[in-house]
């Protein structure tokens, strides 16, 4: 179920560590002509006004930010609505694959599916990580998201709207 570029789209974003995920969200928002909001800026019942809703954040303790999870729990049941999930992760290249990306999304995915959303796609890429002891070594994934990550995010967004 691919929708036209006239579909009304929204991105709910939390990106506080290095604004890594914000860069990805902006690349997607440009393609989707989507507004980007924080979870605190949106009434969960108003999400039904959108055809396509993206939920993105850094990976924090192996999941989306808790404020996104809490928002998802408060969304009333929907019908014929599509959602997509995206994250940036501080994990090293060797750990990056679809399975790892999706495992970080699993809590949010389960909640959204229980609300009736169809998950239209999932995206993940590396993001600069200086959390905890990593700071002492200059962090992991310095320079990410890079131009290739942003191009992949754009490509992903196009795939959602045909
Ligand atoms: C409190 C905290 C917890 C984190 N936990 C994880 C984690 O469990 N797995 C992981 O791969 N990266 C983890 N990271 C790294 C972030 O996912 C990564 O740096 C991400 O790109 C941050 O996105 P942001 O700049 O949009 O906030 C964590 C970072 C922070 C600050």
Structural domains of the chain, with CATH:
9-161 (3.40.50.360)
Q: Ligand 1 centroid to 4 CA: how many Å?
A: 33
pLDDT at 4 over 80: no
Higher-confidence residue of 123 and 4: namely: 123
pLDDT at 78 over 60: yes
Pocket-testing residue among 11, 26, 59, 144, ligand 1, by greatest number of atoms within 8 A of Cβ: 59
> Residues 11-25, buried b or exposed e (16+ Cβ, 10 A)?
bbbbbebbbbbbbbb
Residues 6 or more apart from 98 whose CB is under 8 A from it?
none
Lowest average pLDDT, out of 33-37, 75-79, 92-96, 118-122, goes to 92-96
Say if residue 121's pLDDT is above 50: yes
pTM, two decimals, is 0.95
Q: Which of the listed residues 17, 39, 63, 104 should we mutate to test ligand 1's pocket, taking the one with most ligand atoms within 8 A of CB?
A: 17
Q: How many angstroms is it from 1 CA to the middle of ligand 1?
A: 31
Residue 3 confidence (pLDDT): 53
Q: What is the DSSP letter of 115?
A: T
In the chain, the percentage of residues whose pLDDT exceeds 90 is 86
Query: Cα separation of 34 and 161, whole Å?
Result: 12
pLDDT in tens, 20-35: 999 999 999 999 999 9
pLDDT of 16 higher than 70: yes
């Amino acid at each position: 179920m691919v929708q036209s570029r006239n579909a009304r789209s929204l991105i709910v974003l939390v990106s506080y560590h290095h604004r890594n995920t914000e860069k990805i969200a902006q690349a997607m928002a440009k393609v989707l002509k989507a507004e980007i909001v924080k979870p605190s800026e949106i009434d969960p019942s108003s999400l039904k006004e959108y055809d396509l809703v993206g939920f993105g954040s850094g990976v924090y303790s192996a999941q989306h930010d808790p404020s996104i999870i809490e928002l998802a729990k408060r969304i009333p049941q929907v019908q014929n609505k599509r959602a997509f999930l995206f994250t940036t992760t501080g994990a090293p290249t060797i750990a990056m694959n679809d399975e790892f990306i999706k495992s970080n999304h699993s809590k949010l995915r389960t909640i959204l599916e229980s609300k009736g959303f169809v998950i239209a796609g999932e995206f993940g890429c590396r993001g600069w990580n200086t959390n905890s002891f990593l700071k002492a070594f200059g962090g992991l994934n310095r320079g990410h998201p890079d131009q290739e990550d942003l191009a992949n995010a754009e490509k992903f967004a196009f795939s959602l709207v045909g």
